[in-house]
């Protein structure tokens, strides 16, 4: 008697393992989120995201050059907006000389071939910390879509290659695509946060941008009326197919690890590239456990990004991008 098949042959040494490995991580997999603040010479660590920083535009230049040197070719920009510039309509988001618009130009100036994507959402600009206009305890959909459309045009005018609407309003992809076509931005793409869940894993990000919903009467305490219920699967397919019909070039599932079943299902269902956002809380969890010596940081990090890619991610937005690329190069 002997085993009919010996699967361990294909695992018996590193040469054979690497020969038959199905999922290989490379710098081309990553989209690097960058946090930007006003000021000069600012590089501040985000308290709940160890070793991740907010940069002022002058220091952003060095960071972008380093990313390029490491082989990272795509960035996703976020801005932290001073409180005195926030209002219910996110007016500052449309300022042609606003921080985001200047950040786009800064990156394009020093690194013209770097792919620049921008987060399109009102929350960093909203005095209520919401991704939409607040009225009588509700988030208004269509009024918000109009603002997101103008915001997208403003990013396109500043030179963004792709906009990434992360708000989850209905109909915003169609509205943005139409505005791009009508204004000659035929080549500006849309990466839609199409299946974005109302997740508690966004906590550290909201610290980074000071963008959490405020605690006030007549302001919703959470984002559950627009972001998706973590219990739902079919809803993710519906949202994603709708965004593709409306003109999304790339769709996204967010967060990552807890939603890999959704990633695989979307990957098997659609024919556009699928992005996955490994979010701030996922980053913070591993950093904290590693700091305590409870997990091996690099090994767990590689296991996580490999699992995300294996599940079907064509693009991984991750705060680990630099760490990963340094480790594998
Ligand atoms: C803004 C936005 C959020 C994230 C990306 N874009 C926060 C939110 O929706 O509350 C989260 C990213 C992360 O946690 O890393 N709409």
- 84-93 confidence digits (pLDDT tens): 999 999 999 9
What's the pLDDT at 312?
Answer: 98
CATH number, domain of 199, equals 3.20.20.70
| CA–CA gap between residue 121 and residue 130 (Å, rounded) | 9
Residues pairing with 135 in the sheet: 138
How far away, in angstroms, is 126 Cα from ligand 1 center?
A: 14
Q: In 10 A of CB 84, how many CB atoms?
A: 8
Residue 10 domain-assigned (yes or no): no
Strands (E) in 127-233, as ranges, are 133-135, 138-140, 162-165, 189-196
- What's the total number of domains in the chain? 1
Residues pairing with 139 in the sheet: 134
The percentage of residues in the chain with a pLDDT greater than 70, rounded to a whole number, is 100
Q: Which residues line ligand 1 (CB under 6 A)?
A: 119, 121, 123, 131, 166-167, 202, 205-206, 223, 279-280
* Cβ atoms 194, 169 nearer than 8 A: no
Q: DSSP labels for 275-290?
A: EEEE-HHHHHHHHHHH
- 171-205 confidence digits (pLDDT tens): 999 999 999 999 999 999 999 999 999 999 999 99
Residue 254 annotated to the active site: yes
Q: What is the mean pLDDT of the chain?
A: 97
Q: Which atom, in ligand 1's list, is nearest to the CA of 124?
A: 1
- Helix, strand or coil for residue 224? coil
Residue 170 domain-assigned (yes or no): yes
Domain of 185, in residue numbers: 24-328
What's the pLDDT at 222?
Answer: 95
CA-proximal residue: ligand 1, atom 14 (nearest): 202
Residue 254 domain-assigned (yes or no): yes
Of the residues 196, 223, 309, 322, which is catalytic? 196
Dihedral over alpha carbons 118, 120, 123, 127 (to 10 degrees): 100
The percentage of residues in the chain with a pLDDT greater than 90, rounded to a whole number, is 100
Least Cα distance to 198 among 232, 224, 169 occurs for 224
* Cβ atoms 286, 204 nearer than 8 A: no
- E strand or H helix at 260: helix 260-269
Residue 64 domain-assigned (yes or no): yes
CA distances from 183 to 178, 179, 186, 187 (A): 9, 6, 8, 11
Taking the complete model, does pTM exceed 0.95, yes or no?
A: yes
DSSP character for 164?
A: E
Mean of pLDDT values over 258-287: 98
* 46, 131, 166, 286: residue to mutate for ligand 1 pocket, most atoms within 8 A of CB: 166
């Amino acid at each position: 008697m002997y085993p009919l098949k010996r699967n361990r042959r294909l695992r018996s040494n590193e040469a054979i393992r690497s020969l038959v490995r199905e999922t290989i991580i490379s710098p081309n997999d990553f989209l690097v989120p960058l946090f930007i603040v006003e000021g000069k010479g600012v590089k501040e660590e985000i308290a709940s995201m160890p070793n991740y920083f907010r940069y002022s535009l002058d220091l952003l230049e060095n960071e972008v050059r380093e990313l390029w040197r490491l082989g990272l070719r795509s960035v996703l920009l976020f801005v932290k907006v001073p409180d005195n510039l926030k209002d219910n309509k996110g007016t500052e988001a449309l300022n042609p000389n606003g921080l985001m618009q200047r950040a786009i130009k800064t990156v394009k100036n020093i690194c013209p071939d770097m792919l620049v994507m921008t987060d399109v959402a009102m929350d960093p600009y909203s005095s209520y910390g919401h991704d939409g206009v607040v009225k009588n305890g509700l988030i208004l959909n269509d009024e918000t879509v109009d603002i997101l459309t103008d915001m997208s045009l403003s990013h396109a005018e500043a030179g963004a290659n792709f906009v990434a609407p992360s708000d989850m309003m209905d109909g915003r992809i169609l509205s943005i695509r139409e505005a791009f076509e009508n204004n000659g931005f035929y080549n500006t793409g849309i990466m839609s946060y199409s299946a974005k869940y109302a997740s508690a894993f966004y906590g550290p990000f909201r610290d980074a941008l000071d963008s959490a919903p405020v605690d006030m009467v007549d302001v919703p305490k959470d984002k559950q009326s627009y972001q998706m219920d973590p219990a739902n699967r079919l809803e993710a397919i519906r949202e994603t197919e709708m965004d593709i019909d409306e003109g999304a070039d790339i769709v996204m599932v967010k967060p990552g690890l807890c939603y890999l079943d959704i990633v695989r299902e979307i990957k098997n269902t659609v024919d556009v590239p699928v992005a996955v956002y490994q979010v701030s809380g996922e980053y913070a969890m591993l950093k904290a456990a590693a700091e305590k010596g409870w997990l091996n940081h690099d090994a767990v990090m590689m296991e996580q990004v490999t699992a995300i890619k294996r599940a079907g991610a064509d693009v991984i937005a991750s705060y680990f991008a630099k760490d990963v690329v340094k480790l594998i190069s």
